[in-house]
Each structure stands twice: as C-alpha cells, then as structure tokens.
Amino acid sequence: MRALLTALALLVTGMMIGLVGFLTVRGAGSLTPGFLFSMPSGSGGEGGILPAALSTLWLAAGALSLALPLGVGTAVYLVEYARPGPLVCAIRTLTETLAGVPSILFGLFGFALFVVRLGWGPTLLTASATLALMLLPTVVRTSEEALAAVPQDLREGAAALGSSRWDAVRRVVLPQAAPGIATGALLALGRAVGETAAVLLTSGVGLTLPRTIMDSSRPLAVHLFLLAGEGSAGGRAHATALALVIGTLLFNVLADLALWRRRAS
C-alpha cells in the first residue's frame, strides 16, 4: 500500500515537473527581458508580450478592487450583522454554488450582461467585472473565516466602551481580520492572473497598450490561447505560457508566505 501511494505521489509531482519542465525547455530560450518588455508585431505572432502582461496585471487589479469591497462587505454582513436564518442560509448556499460554476459560464454571463446589454463592449472594465464575479465566492468565504476567527471578547470589549456595531467592526474587528482577508485576496489574485475562459469573450483581443479601463485588451491567458490556436508561434507560445505560470506561481507563493507568517505569529 505504501509503495502504491508513494508511486501515486511521485506520479502527480512528476506530471507537475514535466509540465513546467516542458514549458521551460521549449519556452525559456524565448523568455528574455526583450520578449517581456517589447510590443508585439504581426498580430501577436512576433515581437514581445508587454501589452498582454500589463493587461493581465490591470485585469487582476481591477477584478480585485471590485471583488474585495463587495466580498468583504458581504462577509461583514454575514458574520457581524445577520441573524442566523433563511436569508443567511440562502446567501451561503448561493455563494458556494457560485464557487462551483464553470468559469466559461461567467464569461458568457459577462458577455451577455456587460458587453451586449450594457454596451460596454469587450474592455478591461468588462473583463475585470466578469472576473470579479468569479472571484467573489473565494473572497466572501476567506473573509468570513477571517472575521469568524476574531475573538468575541474583542467585540464585547468595544461594545462595552460605547461603540456602535459598525465602530467595533471598523476599528477592532476588521483590523484584526485584515491579514486573513489579505491572504484570501492573494489567493483570488492568483486565480485571476491565470483565468482564461471568463475573460476570453469579455476582454477583447487588442494588442496595443491599454490606456483606460474602456480599452480593449488581451491578457496573457487569452494571448496564449490565440497563439496556440494559430499553431505558428512556436517558442513564443511556450514562453508566454511560462511567463503566465511564473506569474501565477509568484502570487501563490506570496499567499502561502502570508498564511505562513500568520500561523507563525
């Protein structure tokens, strides 16, 4: 049994290493600073990935700045204000269901709502909003856990000094929960960086540097999808994939570090 389980573990690790190794072998040669920081040419098949990398960063930041206030607000309501009952139950169930919805559905929903109905067209804002919807369950859940972990003593201590519920939340509970909420945000960010399906129909395919949130853009994941589909870009596609993997890895390591530091203290 032990041998079988060891073999399984090795298989899984091997696949991970194989994947990253494959990308490294094929793509590392093309992944130069020049590639990262130059403009693409020839419909993206040649040149660098600067606009795509920037789009990804803007997209992640945009999605988070929409998802964080909404998600933390919901969590504060659920933990600090709501009385246990059917409404809270419904919100929890819906949030959990939302977490399991395939991301392409978010993409289609975002397309139908933001691109078509609201007429924003495929832009950074559209993609950020769509992605934010997808990240909400993660942000709500991790924020809820962080808030629930704040000792009741602190809430009572604040109340006993004459503070309103909101004052207690704002001045005592949220600061205490902030590291946990930040960890959740980083986890969400890691997902946002690599997400493809949700932004495929909402971000556009623009290859210029995005200047405003209403510009069409092409995040790395979408860029990669298009390059791979053409089948002509060779090492550039692999280098793009490698850049994406490294970016995602970076955010996850940051999240782990934040978690680890919280556990240690």
Residue closest to 182 by CA, chosen among 260, 77, 259: 259
Shorter beta-carbon distance to other proteins: residue 4 or 160 = 160
Q: Report yes or no: 129 and 115 within 8 Å, Cβ to Cβ.
A: no
Q: Report yes or no: 187 and 138 within 8 Å, Cβ to Cβ.
A: yes
> Distance between CA atoms of 146 and 182, rounded to whole angstroms?
10
Shorter beta-carbon distance to other proteins: residue 83 or 263 = 83
Shorter beta-carbon distance to other proteins: residue 99 or 154 = 154
Map the footprint of other proteins across residues 145-174, applying CB under 8 A.
151, 153-164, 167, 171-172
> Distance between CA atoms of 170 and 157, rounded to whole angstroms?
14
Map the footprint of other proteins across residues 216-255, applying CB under 8 A.
none
The β-bridge partners of 41 are: 46
CB of 109 to other proteins, least distance (A): 35
Beta strands in 4-99 (DSSP E): 40-41, 46-47
Sign of the torsion angle spanned by Cα atoms 105, 107, 112, 117: positive
Shorter beta-carbon distance to other proteins: residue 86 or 162 = 162
DSSP state of 173: I
CB of 168 to other proteins, least distance (A): 9
CB of 146 to other proteins, least distance (A): 13
CB of 172 to other proteins, least distance (A): 5
CB of 174 to other proteins, least distance (A): 11
176 contributes a contact to other proteins by CB under 8 A: yes
> Distance between CA atoms of 101 and 114, rounded to whole angstroms?
19
Q: Phi and psi at residue 232, in whole multiples of 5°?
A: -115, -10
> Distance between CA atoms of 133 and 83, rounded to whole angstroms?
25
CB of 156 to other proteins, least distance (A): 6
CB of 160 to other proteins, least distance (A): 4
What residue type is 207 in one-letter code?
Answer: L
Shorter beta-carbon distance to other proteins: residue 1 or 160 = 160
Q: Could you give the string, one character per residue 13-52, with x where binding to other proteins holds by CB under 8 A and - elsewhere?
A: ----------------------------------------
Q: Report yes or no: 126 and 202 within 8 Å, Cβ to Cβ.
A: yes
Q: Could you give the string, one character per residue 67-106, with x where binding to other proteins holds by CB under 8 A and - elsewhere?
A: ----------------xx----------------------
- How far out from the chain centre does Cα 66 lie? 12
Shorter beta-carbon distance to other proteins: residue 15 or 161 = 161
Q: Which residues bind other proteins (CB under 8 A)?
A: 83-84, 151, 153-164, 167, 171-172, 175-176
